[in-house]
Structure formats: C-alpha cells, structure tokens
Structure 1
Amino acid sequence: MTIRLPGRRSPESTTDAAETVASRLRALDRVVELGEGRLDDALLASARELSQRAGERLRLSGTHTVVALAGATGSGKSSLFNALAGAHVSQPGVRRPTTGVAHAVVWDADGAGPLLDWLEIPRRHALEPQDDLRGLVLLDLPDHDSTEMAHRLEVDRLIALVDVLVWVLDPQKYADAAIHDRYLRPLARHGDVMVVVLNQVDRLASADVPDAVSDVRRLLAADGLPDVPVLPVSATAGTGLDRLRDVLTGAVAAHRAALRRIAADLDNVSADLADVVGGPARDDVDDKAQRALVAALGAAAGIPAVGAAVQRAAVHRAVAITGFPFTRWLRRLRPDPLRRLHLDRARTTAITAGAGADDADLVPTSQRTSLPATGAVERSRVELALRRLGDDAAVGLPDPWPDALRDAARSRAGDLADSLDRAVAATDLGLSRKPLWWRAFGLLQMLLAATAIAGALWLAGLYALTVLRLPEPEPPQIGIVPLPTVLLIGGLLAGVVLALLARALAVLGARRRRARAEARLRESVADVAENLVLSPVRAELAAYSALREAVAALHR
C-alpha cells in the first residue's frame, strides 16, 4: 500500500486490516513458540521483538499516527519540521545541540502521552488541533550520519517504532551510500509507509528539478522501492509543502499507518523465516525406516535368543508332562531355558481385599532378564538404524531440521538398552497356558504306567508264590502270553511310543509358539521404538509442519 493523497480510497477497510494484522500477529506468536530451541536465536530475535513491539503499539493510542522525519546532517530536516509545525520548534543548523534526542510535535495531544512515553520522546510540543492533522505526531529525528554514536542509535531505535517514515534528502547527498545501504535498501518491504522528500530544491535551477527527482526515483528503484512517492520540496521557499502536508493528512485520515507499518515488519520477518520452512510438507517417518529400526532393536533386545529359548522351553515343559513316567524325573535335573533367563513369567498371587482366590490378580515378580549384554554388532546396527531414520525423515528439509531430526532420533538412545530389556521381561511369551493335549497325554502316560506297574506286581506275586512253593494260580492269557506279562511289557512299550509321539508333537508346537512369542516381542520392541525414537522424531516433524503453517499464515 502506498500512502495515498486525499480523495483516493483504500479497497480494504480499517477493520479488515486490523483483523488481518491481528491474525498475522497470532501466527507470529505461534512461530516464536515453535521456534524456541529449534531455530537460531538471532533469527527468532526479530520475531520476538516485533511480537512485543506490535502488541504494545496496538494497545496504545489508535487515534494517533507517528510520522518521523529522518535524514542526514544538513538535509534541512529541522527547517522542514518547523515549516510543517508552523512554529520555530527545532533548532536548524549543521551541528545539532539535541544530543541524541528527538523532538515531537503533536496535533491534539489528548491521549498521546502513553504513546510518546513508549517512544521515549522527552521533548514534546503540543499544537492547537487542526481537523486535517488531528492525531498527527511528527518527530524530528537526530541525523543518521551524526558523528555521535548516541544520535545514530536513537535514529535506529525510532525508525523501528514509528508508523510512517519521511526521508529528507538534499540535492548534494541524495545518492549517499550511507542512507541507501543502511536504511532504504533494508526497508524495501516498508514502501507502503515511506515517503521521500528531495528538500532544498530552491538551490537547483527549475529545469534541473525534474532530472534530480527522476534520479532519486532511479536510486529508490534500485533499492527495491520503486513505488515510494518522491516529493520536491523547499522548506525555506515553501515549495511542495502543501503536497507533503496533503500526504501526511491522508496518512492521518486513514488511521491505518500503524497497521501498515506492522504489516511491513511482518513481511520482513516472514521473508527471513521462509528459508527454514521451505522444504516439503512431512508429518511421518518412512515405513521402511521404521521397520529397519524395529528389526535392529529386536536383534539388540535378543529376540532370536529369546525365541530359541521359548522353543526349547516348550519342548522341555511338554516332555516333563507327557514324557515316559519312569524317566521324566530326569527332566527336572535340567534347568528350564526361560527360567535361566528370568523369562519364565513367574507370578505371585495378589489377592485383593475381600476377593477370593479365584479373583486373584497375577502379577510378574520380576521385570528384568538375564539375557547376555548386547554385542558390538547389534549396537552398530542400532546406531545405523537411528542415523538412517533421522536422515530419511529429514530428506528435502532445510536447515536446521536435518540436525534436529537426527538429534531427536538419538535423544533417548541411552535409555534403549534398559527399556528393551524391560519390554522383553514384561512380554507374555505364551507359555503359561498348557495345551489340553499335554494333559491328555500325561493322563494316558499315568494309566500306562499304572498298567505296567500292575503287571509287574502281578508277576512279582506269582514269583513269590513259586519261591514259597505255594500253589500258583494260572494267570489269564492273551494268546500264549500271560496277561501280567502283557500288562508290563505293553504298558512300558506303549509309554515309550507315546512319549516319542508327544515329543514330536511338542517340537512342532514349539515352533509355532516360538513364532508367536517372537511376534509379541517385536510388538513390545515396536512400542519401545515408538516411545523413545519415533515419538521424538514425529514431534519434530509436527513442529516443522506447524511452523510451516504458521509462517504461511504470517505471510498473508
């Protein structure tokens, strides 16, 4: 928006402009919130400062427009200031006596005090209100090229705060690099709240004034300010003062200069932030990288070793129940593979107050394992998986996000080993339930053992009668074989055959149990990966996406 002369109307209402600026300031606050700890402090400093300054400016008088006259030594700022004020307020001259202090003239000082306090302007002059300039606060700034550092710092401070900037140039120094390089070019996005005055044109021949104005416009275009009005003025002769006064009147009448200044500042911040959110939209991690991470963590957690232990334990426990009764006691001399690793899911009965034993809750007595420490190969695989996951998440994203995502992927790497061990220990490996066929085979083995024992006792009784020379009853026969012999040998042979069959079935079942146990372990490991690795990475990606949206809203 260019500062318009009276009679030209803006297509956007002041209310709409205020709502737009308020929305952009909310987006700026969101940018500052999301950028803390992620973006460079120097990059966020201007955003923080603008958020605070804009809020304070909008809170202060909305009926006043602050216009500053800025320029170099000898440009005639003070004379122009006095001419606009209609009074001898500021002392003109090559050397100014006001050490780093600006003057203010206020048309209608009612309510301007807090605004001038915020601007830190001690020298104030109240003028009689005029209808066309009511609400104007005109500042005469120190020389921006002063030899006094305090003067230059005061100029820099106020240039960042005022609503409208009027740059006063003179025919001798309008091309001075000091003003173009230090002020005009960095303020290229503030053309809507800027006017350039070529003062002291009375020192030029009338025919040379258009050429000088044209040359100033050329320099402004090179600075990125092609649409800034350039007004030829002479404060002493009065040339062009009416037109400059009309420009100021238009700015005051619109009551939107402060909004436009803030909008221009927001454009600057938005442009500075564009590079850090210039990458593609992304809110999740590549599935392949996630699977690779879970696989590496699973190896580090000892899933293959636990799976093998589950398989051996399943066979061990099946044989202990279904094996040959006369030799199964030997099985008890061999340690259970899972108990040796503290993975037997041993449970204690915790009976809640008022509940019976049937309602008891079973809780694990241990949450740690005795698995061997992770080897160097597994640790290297985990490190590589973490690095790849962070790299995959950061593909195409600008700085500082690649480093942030890699750091997020490794942010809790030190907790992985302990969390994986606890996850493995807390996983139900599925061996607490005994299959029905185990019990059926066990019962059948007991019947066969009883049969063999009955046959043995029968034969022992017959042998005792023979030794004692007592009459022997003739035992029943099956074919030519006495029944006691059939019971003994048949019971023993059937028990051995049944034990071999049970073992074969146990081996097949143990493989399935191993597969199910490893699947459950991978789920537990995936939960650890989600909590300790993927969640921090997703949080950074979410912050990037949210910041991207906030900067887009800030750019509107």
Structure 2
Amino acid sequence: MRLLRRKEGPSLDSRLAALLEAATLGEGRLSAEAVAGARAVAERAGVRRELSIDHTVAALAGATGSGKSSLYNALAGEELATVGVTRPTTSAAQAALWDGDGAGPLLDWLEVPRRHATTPETDLSGLVLLDLPDHDSIRLSHRLEVDRLVEQVDLLVWVVDPQKYADAALHERYLRPLAGHADVMLVVLNQVDRLPAQAVERCLADLRRLLDDDGLTGVPVLAVSARTGRGLAELRSVLGDRVSERKSWSARLAADITTAADHLATAGGGEAEDESKRIDGAGRALTGALCAAAGVPLVVEAVAKGHRHRAVVATGWPVTRWVRRFRPDPLRRLRLGTATAATGGREIVGRTSVPAASAVQRAQVETALRDVGEVAASGVPGPWAGAVRQAARAHARELADAVDRAVATTSVGATRRPRWWRAVNVLQWLVFATMLSGALWLGALFGMDYLRLPQPPLPTAGVVPWPTVLLGGGALAGVLIALLSRLAAWAGGRRRARRTGKALRASIGQVGEELVIAPVAAELDRHARFTEALDLARTKT
C-alpha cells in the first residue's frame, strides 16, 4: 500500500529569514513602524531560540482587581504574591518556577529578577509562571512593563473577572491586536464563585462572543475561582499540556512572524501586475524622444554629407580635389569621429557640438520619463508605486551627457575610409600621371618647334598623336572616374547614414535602458522579491 506524505510547511528558521528579508527590501519604501516592527520580531525570535526551549514562560495578565495574584498563589501552592485591597498590588513581574534549572538566562532576558522555586510537580515541570502588573494600572511604568512582557512570553493567560471582562481597553489594546496569537493564549474568567451557576454560563457565553468578535475563535475559556479552587485542576491540566508539548515558544514566534508579516503586507499592498509590454512601449517612446533631443536626424544627415565630402577629397580628380579641402567636414563641425596626431590617430570621444535640445524636445523627454514611471507604477500597489516613479527619474540629470557620449562613441565608425577609396585614389594618380606625361610631351614638342629644332618621330593612335591621347584621355578618364566615384559615394553615404542611424538609436536605447528602464525593473524586481519573502513568512509551519 502506497503511503501519502503530508506536505510540510516552511521551517521557523526559513520564515524568520523571509521576514527579515522582506523588512530589508521594504526599507525606505514602507512605513518605518512596520519595518521596525518586523526587525524587532526577527531580533526577538533570534534571541528566544538561543535560550532555553525546555521551559515555557506563561504570563498571568489582567486588569486591576481581576485576581491575578490570587490565582498565581493558588497555582504555585503558596503565598508568593501579595494580595491586598489597595491597588495596584503587583508593581513588578515575578516568576514562579517548576523545575527551573537552566531558566536563569531566559529570565535575565525577560528582566524578571524576582524568582521563586515551587514544589516540584511532574505535570508542570518546565513551567515559568509570571505574575504581571495590572495592564490598566494608574502608573505608567506598570503598563509599560506589561506591554514589554506581553511581547516576549511564550503563553498568555488573560485573567478577567465578571465585572471587567468586557472592558474596551482590554479588547482594543491587547486581545484584538493579538488575534493571530490564538494558539498561545488562554482566557480565564476568575471569581466565578461570586456568581450563581446560571450567571456563570451567561458570562462565559458573552465572553466567548466578545472573543469571537476579536478574532480569537477557538481560544480556550476557563471558569476559575482562585478562592474556592474551582476550575484550578482544569487550568493546571491545560498548562501542563502546553508545557509538556514544549512548543509554545515556537508557536509564539510563529504567530509573531505572521503578525509582523501581515503588518508589512498591509503597509506594502499586494502583488504587482505584469506591465512588461506596456513598459516596453514606453521605453520605445523614450528612445524616440532621446534621439530627437540628441539631434540624431542632424547627425545622420551629417554622416551622409561627410561621407560624400571625404569621398570627393579621396577619389576626386587631383586637379580640382584640393578645392574641396577648403570646405568644412560636416562631421568635424559637430566634433564627431575626429582624430588627431596627438592621440596617435585614435578617435576622440568627448562632448560633441551637436546643437542643444530645444525646449520642446526637453519637454518630450520629460514626458517620456514620466510615462515610463507611470506605466510601471500603475501595476504596483501602495507605496511601492512612488519608489518606481522615483526610480524612473533617478538618473534624469545624467541622461543628456550619457546620450551625447553615446552619439560621439557610435559616430566613430562613420569616418572610416572604405578600401575602394584607396584603390580609386591610386588609379586617379596614375591617370593624372598619364595626363601629365602627355602634357609634358606636348610641352617638349612645342619647345622644340619654338626653337626650330628638328622634330622627332611622333607616334600616333590612328591620326591622333599619342601625347594628345595621353593628355586628353587622362583628363577625360580622371573626370569620369571622379563622377563615378561621386555616385558611389552618394550611395555609400546613404547606406552609412542608415547604418549609423540604426546604431545611434540602438546606442541611445541602451542608455535609456541602463539609466531609466533598468532602475525601474530593479524596483519592480525588489517588490516581487518582497512579495515572495512575505508570502513565505506568512505561510504557517
């Protein structure tokens, strides 16, 4: 027969680590109170786990006149606490120990100096019972002492009496906020000996109703009389069961972790929606706005014109190409793709001379940044939305310089000389040399004729002398090669401009990705990890 294994929940250690991670991720995003509360729980849980886990610390808490001290003495079997008419009687917490060996460090941490060893009882072995001051004491120090220990003890035993069991201060200040601690809580209705049997049942039913309204459904409610001993055996039995299980300390820590995680969840909202497609669209709009502000159309046009300009200088007819050198290079005018001898021919990448963005273009960039933040934040709950919007604008001041550097860096390749320019340049000089040789030959013939020297034999190509062929053919060939090179340069300039424009958009898009989209994505990822950690912390063991 195949046995089915029940799936176990996360361990207390993993939940504690998840709570601490959620508090760390929520730092600066959520309320300081919720984050501090989670850190306090994590710190307190860490200390409690290192102390004695063989002892269960139970605290008797209640209002003035509820009979806590009388019940404390009755359970201890001796007069340990002073019981009197003057209120408040208990001014500081004191502890009764059943087999308290090794409980010293635990009580030191709880700051309970008054300790009493009781008669050993097997069923209560390991119990550390605290008698707390009144939670409604007129003395502030007493109330603070109660608040401190209520957060630290393993098991809470609330002692109420028939007159004050419905006290709003008890329910609103303690019981309702501790709704998640039902597993480590008992409620004792003391002094039932003062009521008729029917009245006791009505009080218990009404107390049960109030506890259910507080979210404490299932918390045991016991009717006890410390004076007559009614219900003490049942209370001892319940305490003995809790002590023998040795789980109250871990159940208390688990409840604390759940409550702290719930507070973080309330402060941080729920899960984020998937806005990746909309963010991609806003990112493309941002890239377009940055390209316009960076003067990409102007740079692309300058790339095409600069390519043609340098092509004419490199491949034009040597007789006229020098005139082109007096015209400025469109790219050099923008300080793009420049090189100097001082840098060993390396390209200089620095601040360009591209005209600054206009007011309209700057406004478009601002709008695009805001749209990215709004789109990303629209799917994020609570205070995380503000952090996402802030992340979208965190590097707004760096964008202009980063985009300018991207333009300068990407434009470096726009000035690279194609290999065919060199070949055509060599060909042009060969043609020019041919034309020059023809001119020199004709010049020599003219000089000899002027000096009336005998003419040497003159070779011809058909009826045209070779010097004339060389001169005219060289000039015609040089002009023709220059025109064809100019056509090729025009087509090459368009291709280079398209490639440069595409590269510029990609490079500027990368800048937007790094300075805008990436911080937003990091903030969204932070929220996702916060949600995962919170879900783990809230999962019951």
TM-score (norm 1): 0.90
**Structure 2 counterpart of 1:519:** 502
When structure 1 is superposed on structure 2, of 326-335 and 477-486 the one drifting more is 477-486
Of 219, 226, 239, the residue aligned with 1:228 is 219
Deviation at 1:457?
A: 2.2
Matched residue SS, 1:278: coil
> Counterparts of 1:228 and 1:461 in 2: how far apart (Å)?
125
Could you tell me which runs of 5 or more consecutive residues in structure 2 were left unpaired when the two chains were aligned. Answer: none
Aligned length: 533
Q: Give the aligned partner of residue 406 of structure 1.
A: 389
1:282–1:58: structure 2 CA closer, same or farther, 3 Å change rule? farther
- 1:80 matches 2:63: no
Gaps of 5+ in 1: 1-10, 351-360
* 1:46–1:269 contact (8 Å) kept in structure 2: yes
User: Distance between the aligned counterparts of 2:392 and 2:198, measured in 1?
Assistant: 70
Aligned counterparts of 1:247 and 1:201: Cα–Cα separation in 2:
19
Measure the CA separation in 1 of the matches of 2:14 and 2:468.
99
Q: Are positions 1:136 and 2:127 aligned together?
A: yes
Q: Structure 1, residues 32-89: CA drift from partner, whole Å, max 9, x if none?
A: 2212222221120110110111111111110111111111111111111111111111
Q: Is 2:228 the partner of 1:245?
A: no
Structure 1 position 226, deviation (Å)? 1.8
Per mean C-alpha deviation after superposition, the further-off stretch among 453-462 and 280-289 is 280-289
Tell me how far apart the structure 2 counterparts of residues 40 and 168 of structure 1 sit (CA, whole Å).
34
Counterpart among 259, 271, 274 of residue 279 in structure 1: 271
Please state if 1:457 is matched with 2:440.
Answer: yes
CA contact (8 A) 1:232 1:240 kept: yes
Residue 160 of structure 2 is matched in structure 1 by 169
Q: Read off the aligned partner of 1:421 and give its amino acid letter.
A: D
Q: Equivalents in 2 of 1:32, 1:514: separation in Å?
A: 52
**1:358 matched to which residue of 2?**
none
CA contact (8 A) 1:297 1:525 kept: yes
Separation of aligned partners in 2, 1:184 and 1:526: 56
SS at match of 2:122: coil
Match of 1:442 among 398, 416, 425: 425
Conserved 8 A contact 1:70-1:141 = yes
Quick check: 1:429–1:517 contact (8 Å CA) kept in 2?
no
CA contact (8 A) 2:336 2:411 kept: no
Q: Could you tell me the TM-score, scaled by structure 2's length? A: 0.93
Q: 1:175 to 1:265 in 2, by over 3 A?
A: same
Given the superposition, is the C-alpha separation of residues 98 and 114 from structure 1 closer, same or farther in structure 2, using an over 3 Å criterion? Answer: farther
CA contact under 8 A between 2:56 and 2:127: conserved in structure 1?
yes
Give 1:552's aligned residue.
535
Counterpart-to-counterpart distance in 1, 2:532 and 2:462:
94
CA distance in structure 2 between the aligned counterparts of 1:193 and 1:314, rounded to whole angstroms:
81
CA contact (8 A) 1:171 1:201 kept: yes
Aligned partner of 1:344 among 317, 337, 340: 337
Kept in 1: contact 2:93–2:112 (CA 8 A): yes
Match of 1:484 in 2: 467
1:164 and 1:249 map into 2 onto residues whose CA distance is 12
Answer whether contact 1:429 1:520 (CA < 8 A) is retained: no
Give 1:355's aligned residue: none
Tell me if structure 1 keeps the 8 A contact 2:165–2:207. Answer: yes
2:308 match: 315
> What is residue 333 of structure 1 aligned with on the other side?
326
Counterpart in the other structure of 1:6 = none
Alignment of 1:97-496 (within 5 A): 100-275=91-266, 276-280=268-272, 282=274, 286-346=279-339, 363-427=346-410, 429-473=412-456, 475-496=458-479
Aligned-pair distance for 1:531?
2.6
Instruction: Give, as a single letter, the amino acid of the residue that structure 2 aligns with 1:454.
Output: S
Cα shift readout 1:462-491 (whole Å, capped 9, x = no counterpart): 322333233445644445444333332332
Deviation per CA, 1:124-151, whole angstroms, max 9, x where unpaired?
Answer: 2111322111111111111111111111
Q: Identify which of 13, 30, 33 aligns with 2:24.
A: 33
3-state DSSP class of the match of 1:68?
A: strand
Quote the Cα distance in structure 1 between the aligned partners of 2:379 and 2:26.
19
* One-letter amino acid of the structure 1 residue matched with residue 147 of structure 2: D
Could you tell me how far 1:364 is from its partner in structure 2? 3.5
Mapped contact 1:74–1:93 kept (Cα < 8 A): no
User: Does the CA-based 8 Å contact 1:68-1:162 persist in structure 2?
Assistant: yes
Q: 1:530 to 1:347 in 2, by over 3 A?
A: farther
Deviation at 1:347, TM superposition (A): 6.0
**Native 8 Å contact 2:97 2:118 kept in 1:** yes
Relative distance call for 1:393 and 1:416 in structure 2 (3 A) is same
Could you tell me how far 1:448 is from its partner in structure 2?
2.3
Could you tell which deviates more after superposition, 527-536 or 538-547? Answer: 527-536
State the AA in 2 paired with 1:498: I
Q: Distance in 1 between matches of 2:407 and 2:48?
A: 59
CA contact (8 A) 2:275 2:379 kept: no
> RMSD across aligned C-alpha pairs, in angstroms?
2.4
Task: Report if the CA contact (8 A) 1:84-1:241 is conserved.
Answer: yes
> Cα offset for 1:277?
4.6
1:172 Cα deviation (Å)? 1.3
